[in-house]
Amino acid sequence: MIEATLCFPLRDGETGADPATDADLATDDETGREVLLIEKRRGLGEGWYNGPGGKCEPGETPRECAIRETREEVGLEVRDLEKAGELRFLLDGEAHTFCHVYRTRSFEGEPTASEEAAPEWVPVDDVPYDRMWDDDRLWLPGVLEGKTVAGEFRFEGGTPLDEADFVDHEMAWDASLEGDQDEKRSY
Ligand SMILES: Nc1[nH]c(=O)nc2c1ncn2[C@H]1C[C@H](O)[C@@H](COP(=O)(O)OP(=O)(O)OP(=O)(O)O)O1
């Protein structure tokens, strides 16, 4: 089974105004929180939106993997990752991928496109679920609200996973996730 990660950096929305020149307008135009998504340019889920992330390398913890993949894919240095989910993806009845999901409000740098990914800040209320994995609409809204989730998602129809049909799932919210010692923050 593949062990993989996803990381969702969050920030307060851009105002569309220059706060240095128009502080009042900046407050009025508050657009809400945004999440950094990528349009994946290669590999599993190519052409779809997702968080930065990827497969864990030997000897690497999932948290280290999420930090490395976010750096490699979009050039952002993420810190203080909070564990938000553990998702098990099954293909034709067999365990395929175990995915550790993180979120963070702490990062440095400007998202930059790479060969693997084109980054985009997207309002949390406007996530393009129709251009993502079918399971994402079930768990990502809660994760972006600050909940934790444990879930199992079953796909059928042969490899690769991103061409198989999503058939059913089980999910538990407010799940206590193994190995997460991080302090909870409010999102
Ligand atoms: N059903 C699903 N829903 C979802 O949201 N993300 C999924 C998913 N199934 C797999 N993923 C994600 C998890 C992980 O971030 C990514 C794994 O894709 P890849 O195999 O392309 O890995 P990498 O991006 O590490 O590729 P390489 O760098 O080429 O090894 O796909």
Is residue 82 predicted with pLDDT exceeding 90?
yes
Write out the E strands in 41-129: 49-50, 53-55, 77-79, 82-91, 94-104, 106-108, 117-123
Q: Which residues line ligand 1 (CB under 6 A)?
A: 4-6, 43-45, 50, 53-55, 89, 97, 99, 133, 135-136, 153, 161
Using CA atoms, how far apart are residues 120 and 34, in angstroms rounded to an integer?
10
CATH topology classification for 2-12+31-173: Nucleoside Triphosphate Pyrophosphohydrolase (3.90.79)
Task: Name the residue of 50, 131, 156 whose CB sits within 8 Å of the most ligand 1 atoms, as the mutation to test its pocket.
Answer: 50
Is residue 176 predicted with pLDDT exceeding 80?
yes
pTM of the model: 0.89
Is residue 93 predicted with pLDDT exceeding 50?
yes
Q: Kindly report the protein residue whose alpha carbon is nearest to atom 20 of ligand 1.
A: 44
Measured in Å, residue 26 CA sits from the centre of ligand 1 at 37
Measured in Å, residue 109 CA sits from the centre of ligand 1 at 23
Pairing of strands 117-123, 33-40: antiparallel
**Residue 84: left (phi > 0), alpha (psi -120 to 50), or beta?**
alpha
pLDDT tens, 41-79? Answer: 999 999 999 999 999 999 999 999 999 999 999 999 999
Predicted ipTM?
0.94
Measured in Å, residue 162 CA sits from the centre of ligand 1 at 9
Domain residue spans in the chain? 2-12+31-173
